[in-house]
């Protein structure tokens, strides 16, 4: 029997089985493969599953495994993490990043692309994927992070100023920055009216469980990003489009 699943730890709270069931009407089983030992979880994937989703803390170990023994696209290799692993017909494992694919879909759906200025707050896995997606679409991308300051990565203290002149802020941090609540011009863009052609700032937040900026004008919730990950990622796992 063809089976799919999720590896990570802890994942007992995950809604992935429910989302997968809705996407395919329960046609295939989808399991939570929970455990703190990456090697044990990866071995179960190789022995029992056609494809898996990967969540924390296993995205980078899985990336290293596929980098050494499988295949991935150049943009995924540049991000340095995967969250989907699929067994190909030739026996190799193909690694994908649906954080990247999902945010690219959200940006396209809201009209962001060539000529848009995008500020990414945070440069962990989600931030790296968001920055790569923005660049792939031709956006002018600026990253703000607490560490690794370079000409391309600005100090987090500069975020309110940079976000104030951006078309889109992609917020991947787990904590709020109060100065963002008083950015000039935010109030011009009403809820539900976000689009890249508006010339007014929108906010896409990665965290959909405990968001920091929900309710701000121009807010795009993380649930939209999460759904876009399923819409773009599940067909890579199953070979069939998801039921929208």
* pLDDT tens per residue across span 169-199: 999 999 999 888 776 544 433 333 444 444 4
Task: Tell me the β-bridge partners of 119.
Answer: 142, 169
Residue where a domain stops, chosen among 75, 96, 117:
96
How much is the average pLDDT of 37-58?
A: 97
Domain count, the chain: 2
The predicted structure's pLDDT at residue 150? 80
Structural domain including 131 reads 101-221
Residue where a domain stops, chosen among 96, 122, 140:
96
To the query of whether residue 43 is one of the catalytic residues in this protein, the response is: no
Closest listed residue to residue 131, CA positions, set 183, 202, 195, 78 = 78
The predicted structure's pLDDT at residue 189? 34
* pLDDT tens per residue across span 101-151: 999 999 999 999 999 999 999 998 899 999 999 999 999 999 999 987 887
Q: Are residues 41 and 132 in the same domain?
A: no
The predicted structure's pLDDT at residue 105? 97
How much is the average pLDDT of 200-220?
A: 90
The predicted structure's pLDDT at residue 183? 66
Q: Are residues 115 and 78 in the same domain?
A: no
Q: Is residue 181 part of a domain?
A: yes
Residue where a domain stops, chosen among 62, 96, 130:
96
Q: Are residues 176 and 126 in the same domain?
A: yes
Instruction: Report the 10 Å Cβ neighbour count for 33.
Output: 22
The predicted structure's pLDDT at residue 179? 85
Q: Is residue 231 part of a domain?
A: no
- Binned at pLDDT 50, 70 and 90, residue 216 comes out as confident
Q: Per the residue annotation, which of 22, 59, 105, 190 is the catalytic one? A: 59
- Percent of all residues in the chain with a pLDDT value above 70, rounded to a whole number: 93
The predicted structure's pLDDT at residue 184? 54
- Percent of all residues in the chain with a pLDDT value above 90, rounded to a whole number: 80
- CA angle (67, 70, 76) in 5-degree steps: 50
- Binned at pLDDT 50, 70 and 90, residue 80 comes out as very high
What CATH number is attached to the domain comprising 161? 3.40.50.720
Q: Are residues 15 and 127 in the same domain?
A: no
The predicted structure's pLDDT at residue 191? 38
> Quick check: 223 pLDDT over 90?
yes
Tallying the residues shown for the chain, one arrives at: 244
The predicted structure's pLDDT at residue 60? 92
Query: What span, in angstroms and rounded, lies between the C-alpha atoms of 6 and 1?
Result: 17
Q: Is residue 193 part of a domain?
A: yes
Computed over every residue of the chain, the mean pLDDT equals 91
The predicted structure's pLDDT at residue 226? 93
How much is the average pLDDT of 215-220?
A: 90
* SS3 letters across the chain: CCCEEEEECCCCCCCHHHHHHHHHCCCCCEEEEECCCHHHHHHHHHHHCCEEEECCCCHHHHHHHHHHHCEECHHHHHHCCCCEEEECCCCCEEEECHHHHHHHHHHHHCCCCCCCEEEEECCCHHHHHHHHHHHHCCCEEEEEECCCCCCCEEEHHHHHHHHCCCCEEEECCCCCCHHHHHCCCHHHCCCCCCCCCCCCCEEEECCCCCCCCCCCCCEECHHHHHHHHHHHHHHHHHCCCCCC
């Amino acid at each position: 029997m063809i089976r799919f699943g999720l590896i990570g730890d802890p994942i007992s709270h995950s809604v992935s089985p429910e989302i997968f069931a809705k996407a395919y009407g329960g046609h295939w089983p989808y399991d939570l493969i929970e455990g703190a030992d990456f090697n044990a979880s990866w071995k179960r994937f190789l022995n029992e599953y056609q494809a898996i989703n990967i969540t924390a803390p296993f995205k980078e170990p899985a990336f290293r495994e596929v980098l050494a023994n499988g295949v991935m696209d150049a943009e995924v290799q540049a991000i340095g993490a995967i969250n989907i692993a699929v067994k190909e017909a030739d026996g190799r494992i193909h690694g994908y990043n649906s954080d990247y694919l999902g945010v690219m879909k959200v940006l396209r759906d809201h009209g962001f692309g060539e000529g848009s200025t995008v500020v990414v707050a945070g440069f962990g896995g989600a931030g790296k994927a968001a920055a790569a997606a923005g660049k792939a679409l031709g956006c002018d991308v600026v990253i703000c992070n607490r560490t690794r300051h370079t000409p391309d990565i600005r100090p987090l203290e500069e975020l309110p100023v940079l976000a104030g002149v951006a078309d889109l802020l992609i917020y991947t941090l787990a904590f709020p920055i109060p100065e963002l609540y008083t950015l000039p011009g935010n109030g011009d863009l009403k809820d539900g009216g976000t689009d890249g052609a508006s010339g007014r700032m929108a906010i896409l937040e990665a965290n959909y469980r405990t968001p920091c900026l929900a309710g701000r004008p121009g807010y795009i919730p993380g649930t939209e990003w999460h759904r876009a990950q399923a819409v773009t990622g599940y067909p890579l796992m199953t070979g069939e489009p998801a039921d929208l």
